[in-house]
Amino acid sequence: MRLKNQIAIVTGGASGFGESISHAFTAEGAAVVVADLNAEKGEQVAAALVAKGHRALFCRTDVTRTADMAQLVETTVQQFGRLDVMVNNAGISHANQPMLNVSEAEFDRIFQVNVKSLYLSAVHCVPVFRRQRSGCFINIGSTAAVRPRPGLTWYNGSKGAVVLITKSMAVELAPDNIRANAINPAIADTPLLTTFMGGADTPENRAKFTASIPLGRLGRSTDVANAAVFFADPASEFVTGVCMEVDGGRCI
């Protein structure tokens, strides 16, 4: 059990990577608070974890709202006594399209969900981590931050911010024994796939994206979940400020 007695929050835990991270963390002994806008799916994920005998609960959260984030952290500490790992995974994108076609409202929403959420997560988690003299942020970036694809410019920029903020948090919070790392996944088979493709999920479209990945397949949620377990594991206590590609070689 690599995460025995650890307490974690996973934002965007109702779907895709977040769901997989929630399963991987609880399988390694952690208790998980699944935080998501989607109450129906989030409740289902938490119920599936509890049915397996794990400690989990759902907390409806909009990561762009400070009151929601405050309540999320408060509920976690009330229910489980502490908070060890904050996984900032909730994220959205505009569809793959020419950059000038993306509306101002959509741009704002992407930066709120993908970037402002990191600020709010820091505001509400850092005081708890400081009190405990330990804590760990795991931010989900993207290969978009390192090797951007055309048609996703504003999303790419938001993930660039995730990478830089992760490094900056790592260096600023290190004296408090708080770590911050990021995972940069390649395009993966989750509900976001067609958004990134900018077209239908056809075998031809998949082949086009698969061809851009040296290991010859799209990412899987479990690839990201396994990396998240590594960063959450106390065995990686000397690892901070790392933004690790989990991408089958896409960024080489």
CB of 162 to ligand NAD, least distance (A): 8
Rounded to 10°, the helix 104-111/153-173 angle is: 30
The span from the CA of 196 to the CA of 93, in Å, is 8
The rounded Cα 159 to chain-centroid distance in angstroms is 11
Using the minimum distance from each CB to ligand NAD, give the nearer residue, 15 or 181: 15
CB of 212 to ligand NAD, least distance (A): 12
Catalytic residue among 17, 80, 155, 230: 155
Using the minimum distance from each CB to ligand NAD, give the nearer residue, 70 or 174: 70
Using the minimum distance from each CB to ligand NAD, give the nearer residue, 39 or 174: 39
CB of 213 to ligand NAD, least distance (A): 11
Active-site annotation holds for 155: yes
Using the minimum distance from each CB to ligand NAD, give the nearer residue, 62 or 84: 62
The rounded Cα 127 to chain-centroid distance in angstroms is 21
Tokens found for residue 125: 């988690």
CB of 4 to ligand NAD, least distance (A): 26
What is the contact surface with ligand NAD in residues (CB under 6 A)? 11-12, 14-18, 36-38, 61-64, 89-92, 113, 140, 142, 185, 187-188, 190-193, 196
Q: Is 217 exposed, middle or buried (0-12, 13-18, 19+ CB in 10 A)?
A: middle
Sheet with 56-60, side-by-side order of all strands: 56-60, 31-36, 7-11, 85-88, 135-140, 178-185, 243-246
Q: Which amino acids are annotated catalytic?
A: 155
